[in-house]
Every structure is written in C-alpha cells, then in structure tokens.
Structure 1
Amino acid sequence: MFNLSHPKLVTLAETEGYAEVADFLEDHTLRSIVPAICMAPDCDHTAELEPDQRAGICEACGRASMKSGLVIAGLI
C-alpha cells in the first residue's frame, strides 16, 4: 500500500526541492542511491542512501533511524 502523505516523506520531498511527493518519487524510483530521512520525531536529517534502506545510522542524532523515501512511500 502506498503512503504518499506520510509527514516525513512530505518533509523529505520538500527538502529535495519538490512541491509534490509524486514528482519526487518519479525522479528517484530507478536510482541506485536515493534521498533518505531520519524517522526520529525530533530529527529531520537527510542523506543519500540505498533505495531499500530501513535502518541506516543518522549522522545527526546517531540513531539507526534513517529510511529511504521509497520505503516510506511503500514502493519497496
């Protein structure tokens, strides 16, 4: 099931310069490295990670909470 309205996904798309989440996903779906965001409530750090990343280490807060935008959206 797709989730294009998740607040962290919206924040990630906006941080990457997109007004629409769908446009963000269209541009990044087939790439080998994609934008990811920290899922911790008090952190919005972003980084480029693997498309299937679900628990990457956040360089800002140190938690294993980085998640790919494609995973958040439910594409992977």
Structure 2
Amino acid sequence: MFNLSHPKLVALAETEGYSQVEDFLEDYALDSVVPAICMAPDCDHTADLEPDQRAGFCEACGRPSMKLGLVIAGMI
C-alpha cells in the first residue's frame, strides 16, 4: 500500500516544485538519481541519491536519516 500523504513526502515533492505527490513519484519512478529528504524531525534537508540508498547521511545534521521519496511512498 502506498503512503502518499506522509508529511516529509509532501514537503519533498513541494521542494522539488510539484504540487501533487503523484506527479513527483511518476517523474522519478525510473530515474537513476532520486530526491531524498532527511527524516529527522528537526531537519528537512534534501539531496539527490541513488535509488538503492537506504540510509544516506544528511549533510545538514550528520545523521544517517536520508530517505528517498520513493521509499517513503512505499514504492521501493
């Protein structure tokens, strides 16, 4: 089941210029680099990561908390 309303996913889509999460996911579903967001409650840093990245380090807060938008949505 997909989770398209997660607050971090909505924030990531908006940061990337999308008003609809579905459009964001459709555009990045097959790309080799995908936008990710820090899942720490006090950090919203974004970066582009490879789709197989599971716990990338956040350049802003230093935690291994970066998660791809596709993972947050439950697509991968």
TM-score greater than 0.5 by the shorter chain: yes
Cα root mean square deviation, aligned: 0.6
The residue that corresponds to 1:52 in the other structure is: 52
Cα distance in structure 2, aligned partners of 1:39 and 1:73: 13
What's the offset of the Cα at 1:53?
2.2
Deviation at 1:27, TM superposition (A): 0.4
- The equivalent of 1:34 in structure 2 is 34
Where do 5+ consecutive residues of structure 1 fail to align? none
Query: Does the CA-based 8 Å contact 1:13-1:19 persist in structure 2?
Result: yes
Q: CA deviation at 1:54?
A: 2.2
Structure 1 stretches (4+) deviating beyond 6 angstroms? none
SS at match of 1:13: helix
The question of whether the paired residues in 2 share the 8 Å contact of 1:52 and 1:70 is answered with no
1: CA distance between counterparts of 2:18 and 2:52? 21
Quote the sequence identity (%): 83
User: Aligned pairs, how many?
Assistant: 76
1:64 is matched with 64
AA aligned to 1:18 is Y
- Unaligned stretches of 5+ in structure 2? none
Alpha-carbon distance in 1 for matches of 2:66, 2:48: 10
